[in-house]
Amino acid sequence: MRLEGMSGLRYSSDDPDDSDVDLKSRVARIIAKGGRELVLPIGAKTARNIDRYIRVPAAHPRAADPWLWLGKRRRLTASGIYQMVKDRGDAIGLPDLHPLQLRHTCPHDWLASGGSEGDLMRHAGWKSRAMLTRYAASAADERARDAHRRLSPGDRF
């Protein structure tokens, strides 16, 4: 999910219609680039962590605001989420971590784990295979070598 979509997530425990995150169904509804609405699956760990997170802001001065991601004084914007990821990376010894790395790593991990290109494109909201090529290219050689190790015809003689 792009930073803009993530920063625009709303959450309401009172009214599901005012919430972009459904923890029971494990989906998040975002507004994607170009104004398209996407409903994206979220993993069990992510849902559990969001559930823990939403319990903390009850005492936040802006807790009544509809936004899921709250900073110290207001909602986190895309640049605020960027900075949070950067700070977390610094804290764990990854000083150059930034959200776009995660956007490139996710397709690689998906494909390396055996996920289909079609499902990846659907979840990422990509209409063009060019986006798949762009985001998965950084580790395409590694995946090709791994596939060769598993499937090498010469090793079956």
What is the reported pLDDT for 7? 93
- Secondary structure of the chain in HEC code, one letter for each residue: CCHHHHHCCECCCCCHHHCCEECCCCEEEEECHHHCEEEEECCHHHHHHHHHHHHHHHHCCCCCCCECCECCCCECCHHHHHHHHHHHHHHCCCCCCCHHHHHHHHHHHHHHCCCCHHHHHHHHCCCCHHHHHHHHHHHHHHHHHHHHHHHCHHHHC
Q: At what angle do helices 117-124 and 99-112 cross, to 10 degrees?
A: 150
pLDDT digits (tens, 9 = 90+) for 40-70: 999 999 999 999 988 876 677 888 888 999 8
pLDDT digits (tens, 9 = 90+) for 105-137: 888 889 888 899 999 998 888 888 898 888 887
Query: CA 88 from chain center: how many Å?
Result: 16
Question: Which of residues 152 and 45 earns the better pLDDT score?
Answer: 45
